[in-house]
Structure 1
């Protein structure tokens, strides 16, 4: 019950945050959207315009039906029921009591934010662990999107953004990825090493265009655009 109340409250803040993103993207045009970490379709519904083709990735079976219902009137070309990383196979997936923050990364138990979040959720942060299929974007989207399409790549995978980018090297080399949106936590919240997505995007030739700080101050959505020659 407590986790449901927290998630409902969190989702209200998320709607406010996403509306800011929608205003930003209203001035831009894309031929396709790749949504890695679709959750229940919040980004697709509030940001993606009209009949823009969408490729959706979401590994959580618990939210998959709701994702499909919520985006039924959108032009989703395919729902990929898998996690995304820099390798192909299977991976452990940590089911968070706040489903929008489930991840292939285990939480860092010593993080002050994780301790606060655990207390807020009644003492239980991780409610289970499962095994899910994992793909790279290079593998999953090979020959799926026309090479000339202007693409928006949105990645919200709770700490594994760097791995997603590493697994999309060929996609970046062969397609016009016009903009990339990633989520960056304000604190260290995951255990183990993390690839730096900002550094990887700099290697790929992208600079920061805009930052949107979430109302609870725990993360920012950062939009990158191609560096001009």
Structure 2
């Protein structure tokens, strides 16, 4: 029976994802925005669903002061950035490498009165780039299931998705952008203010993002919120692993060495600085 149910379950999952993403394409095409209620407040979105409405990481970020600076690495269409910025003076620096998702984020931000198509009022600062441990340009695989889009073909074709296209995307180290970090590139274009928090949801490249922000952690000690359902190993970019697997254990050790305590809440880690770091970046 198990052998029969497993392929059936996989087919049903693929059908569900295909239906969801086709519905999203339709709501954006027709301009149908609906209110979304979240732990960080209500906002409007052209997305048909509200997957992060009760997200514990979003709740932790919303406890920050109303003038906080938040870096959102892997902002997708703004499910975190928009409710955090709306009706506050917070600045969210949103990094999104997927051109289609970045366009949708800008459209959702505009629907919520957060400035022009690129957040020109400053509350959402949209950066069409990825974040990692080296400044480079990589091939980005745009998936027919937009949330699956990634820097590797395998991730972009999960659950029966196919490659919709590829594009060359810049990757930046946060340590080269954040103001006040020792060793940061002097005179960097579009510097990022010292962050009060960094949220990371980058489909398996979490370790690379953290390595590229080690100086930022040491200097500014921001709150860190990490989606770990596909967290990469501490010495790789896309090793995969569950929140309790060996890859995540490596990330825990890396964070502990830098004076961060990890609180696991479902597939989210809420990491708070508790002491000075022991190791350099």
Normalized against structure 2, the TM-score is what? 0.62
Match of 2:200 among 155, 161, 175: 155
Equivalent runs, 1:150-189 vs 2, <5 Å: 151-177=196-222, 179-185=223-229
Aligned match of 2:92 in 28, 42, 54? 54
SS in 2 for 1:185: coil
Q: Which has the larger radius of gyration?
A: 2
Contact kept, 8 Å, 1:86 with 1:165, in 2: the verdict is yes
Residue 162 of structure 2 is aligned to residue 125 of structure 1 = yes
CA-CA distance at 1:135 after TM superposition: 0.9
More strand by share: 1
TM-score after normalising by structure 1: 0.74
Q: Whole-Å Cα distance in 2 between the matches of residues 37 and 187 of structure 1? A: 13
Query: Within 5 Å, which residues of 2 pair with 1:37-186?
Result: 37-48=74-85, 50-72=88-110, 73-74=113-114, 75-76=122-123, 78-107=125-154, 114=158, 117-118=159-160, 124-143=161-180, 144-145=191-192, 147=194, 151-177=196-222, 179-185=223-229
Alpha-carbon separation, structure 2, partners of 1:225 and 1:140: 22
Give the Å deviation of 1:227: 2.1
Equivalenced residue count is 207
Unaligned runs of 5+ in 1: 119-123, 214-219
Superposition CA RMSD, Å: 3.4
- What is the CA deviation profile of residues 168-215 of structure 1, one whole-angstrom value per residue up to 9, with x for unaligned ones? 1221122131x1111112699x9954674333222221112241x3xx
Q: Deviations over 1:20-53 (max 9, x none)?
A: 5444444443721000111111111234461101
Structure having greater relative contact order (Cα 8 Å, sep ≥ 6): 1
Match of 1:121 in 2: none
Preserved contact between residue 33 and residue 48 of structure 1 (Cα < 8 Å)? no
Alpha-carbon distance in structure 1 between the residues aligned to 2:271 and 2:137: 29
Q: Compared with structure 1, are the counterparts of its residues 227 and 107 closer, same or farther at alpha carbon in structure 2 (3 Å cutoff)?
A: farther
Shift, 1:65, TM fit:
2.4
